[in-house]
Structures are given as C-alpha cells and as structure tokens.
Amino acid sequence: MAENARNIETDFDVLLQLTARIIEAQAGRAIAPGEEWKNDAQVLAHKLFKQAHSARRLLAPGAILMPDGSSVDAIDHTSVIILARACIEGFITLHWIFQNENDDLRRFRHKLWKLGGLLDRAKLHPATDEAREKAQSAQAQATRLIEEIRGSALLSMYSEKQIQNVLKGKWREGWQWRTEAIRAGFHPKYFDNVYSHYSGYAHSNWISTMQIREAVDLEAQYRLGRAAIQVIVHILAKFVHFYVMLFDTASSAFETARPNSRATARHWNIEADDLDRFYRTEEKNTPRQ
C-alpha cells in the first residue's frame, strides 16, 4: 500500500502537532450553562494526545543499567503496543459519546459513561479520610445520576436486562469496541487484527510473550514498536477529522494549519472501503487448502 513510501515517524509527529493545535484551540473558551458535560470531549482528547506522545517517546532506545554496571539499549515495544490499544479505546469512547446529531442522545450516553466511573470509584476500598470522602461523594453523585437516567425516555432503547446492567455502571451495554470501531470508519478485519493482537499484549497472552522473547535486538524491537506507531497514526488522523466536527474552533484551527499537516491528516484518514479492496486482494491471493 502507499503507506510504505511514507516516513511513518515524520507523519506521526506532524499529526501529533496538528492534534495539539486543534485541541488547544478550544482551551479557555467559555462553556454555556448546562453544557459543562461537553468539556469531557476535550479531556478525552488530551488523554489520547498524551498517550500518543508517550508511545512516540518510547520508540526511542533507552539504556538499561545492568547489575555489573554495564548498560544495554532496548526499545520497550510492549508499552508502545499497550499505549496504542489505549488510544484505540480512547478514540472509540469519544466517538460513541459524542458522534451523533441528537444532542439528547449524546448527553444521555455521557451520563451512562459518567455513572460507570462514579460507581467504580465508589467501589474502591479507601484507606484515608480523603479517599473515603471521595468515595462517599461519588456514591451520592451516582445516586442522583441514576435517577436522571431512569427519567430519560432514551432508556427505553435498552431491554430490561440491559437496563439493570446500565444502572450498575456497565456503560458499554449493548455495544462492543468492534461495533463502534466500524461505525467510526475502521475496517472490521483491520480492527480485529490489531485490537485482538494488542489486547494479547495488555493481558500477557502467549503470542505476545513469544514476540518479546524473539525480539532480542533493537531492529526487531523497533519494527514491532513502529507497527504500533502506524496504528496510532491512523487513530490520530481519524481523531482530527472527528474533532473538527465537534467544535468550530477546532475546525478553524485545522483549516488554518499548514497545508502539509492537513494533507497528512487526509492521507491517513483511511476509509474502510479503501482497505476492503486490500483485504479482497489478500483473500484472492491466499492459497486454498
């Protein structure tokens, strides 16, 4: 594919700067009363940016000090891959909450997501007075939020069983990372390959351990880390095009960015149909058993 002719790291850096530009364009803007929940879109964007930035830094070799005083250079490609997976989930979460013309639905989904977080905090085992206060506050907020959710007509979208789960904080009830990734424009086969493999790294499956064992030199470690960086390039490009639809300030920041930055974002905003042709060719060339 055409990606092979491009410098992935250069494109990554361009997109990371463009991401920072459109996020910061919204910073300091007044939030209308009752619209405070929309600010979490920017917080999720910051989270994605920082994770992408960390992944890029980890692609550089670092010296590991050995007991005998010597040092060994290594690339922590495992962490790059795990961060790439976190970027995938962060973007999909942002897309699920905010990608809809129905503002009531967006607000409702934000409430479900927030409820999940509040109940997670309330379930923690606090060891300090401050932590206990936060847990109690989280529970009180969750109780109020549950009543708001119960009073929403949008709750009828769920079955009785699903409603029980939603009110327990299971905000991803009724959908999966894969289904929302497809809605966000990822090719299903591309997402399946990447997310399944990278989840294996996060959960220490055998394949990930085998790859770590076999990646004994910097070249192999770099190759695995660079593949994850390319995944994040796809995510950043999709994020840029999604985020500029959320905020006029972000859209203006994009349109006034350098032509090369805009062109890079457009190049990597690959649609599922583009990859569909690639996967069909791949299937055609695969020998039958």
Which pLDDT band, with edges at 50, 70 and 90, does 285 fall under?
Answer: low
d(CA 61, CA 74): 5
For position 4, what pLDDT does the model report?
A: 55
Q: Averaged over 142-161, what is the pLDDT?
A: 98
For position 26, what pLDDT does the model report?
A: 87
* Residue 225: closest CA among 7, 60, 109: 60
For position 139, what pLDDT does the model report?
A: 97
Give the lowest-confidence range in 1-15, 217-231, 241-255: 1-15
Which pLDDT band, with edges at 50, 70 and 90, does 1 fall under?
Answer: very low
Tens of pLDDT, residues 158-198: 999 999 999 999 999 999 999 999 999 999 999 999 999 99
d(CA 136, CA 131): 9
d(CA 266, CA 272): 14
H helix count then E strand count, the chain: 13, 2
Tens of pLDDT, residues 23-74: 999 888 878 888 889 999 999 999 999 999 999 999 999 999 999 999 999 9
pLDDT score of 289 more than 50: no
